[in-house]
Amino acid sequence: MPAQSQRTLDVALFAHLVSRPEDELDLAQTALLIAEPEYPELDIAAYLRDLDELAALARPRLDGVTDNSGRAVALVQFLLEDQGFSGNLDEYDDPRNSFLNEVLERRLGIPITLSLVILEVAQRLGIAMRGVSFPGHFLVDTAGPQPLLLDPFTGQPMGTAELSELLGRVYGQRRPPRPDELQPASKHAILLRMLHNLRNIYMRRGDSPRQRLAEERIRVLESAVRSLASSSTAGGAGRPGVLH
């Protein structure tokens, strides 16, 4: 863990970035800052270049695909099949699954961090995609009047049956999803959900110093969301949803 003075600087920089409106917030950069206390020499610019490189490698895979949904599916398949990204089912509670630098290095993550990679590469390719704070399993979808939901673990489209099965795992009973469970997640909401995941992991492990650091960042982010909402420049940041 960093010294208190460094922690103060890290949190101040995080607060500065998350105070920006949605359209000005760099999601990948801010997500990497969440990892910085664990990796004091973290080269944020290098990992942003990794995302650029993934986009460059994906472009040939998209040749000839013109519709947005088809491009989104092709991109997700490229990341999972060609680049080897996958869900870390064996060590789901490993904190490294919540750090974007580790996900890019190890090609392992949980739904929300795999979705983050997908969203960032899609943005670089001009593919309209969004995160969806579905209970228990973060998803991505394509923007438009009939959004296509995709599972970041498998790349498969998610219909009512698949969503009902996911809800059954979370609540113990299958049911159709409610409209509010399929709402797009803002960048601030994605960051907040990542921090809640980390906070809960550290709580289960009894790691109080890291738990407090995650909680400090949660408070900073929630404060920024309230300020943005009250200023009416961002219209709020949405709800964080449940975990993973």
Q: Is the pLDDT of residue 91 over 50?
A: yes
180 close to 167: Cβ distance less than 8 angstroms: no
Give the closest residue to 103 by CA, choosing from 119, 85, 89, 129. Answer: 85
Mention every residue, 6+ apart, whose C-beta is less than 8 A from residue 76: 118, 140, 150, 152, 155
pLDDT band, residue 10 (cuts 50/70/90): confident
Please tell me whether the overall predicted TM-score, pTM, comes out greater than 0.85 for this model.
Answer: yes
Place of tokens 């989104």: 72
- Round to whole Å and give the CA distance between 115 and 241: 15
Task: At 224, give phi and psi (nearest 5°).
Answer: -65, -40
pLDDT, greater one: 59 or 232 = 59
Going from N- to C-terminal start, the domains of the chain cover 4-231
Task: At 176, give phi and psi (nearest 5°).
Answer: -65, 150
Give the closest residue to 234 by CA, choosing from 244, 224, 242. Answer: 224
Q: What is the pLDDT of residues 110-162, one digit of tens each?
A: 999 999 999 999 999 999 999 999 999 999 999 877 899 999 999 999 999 99
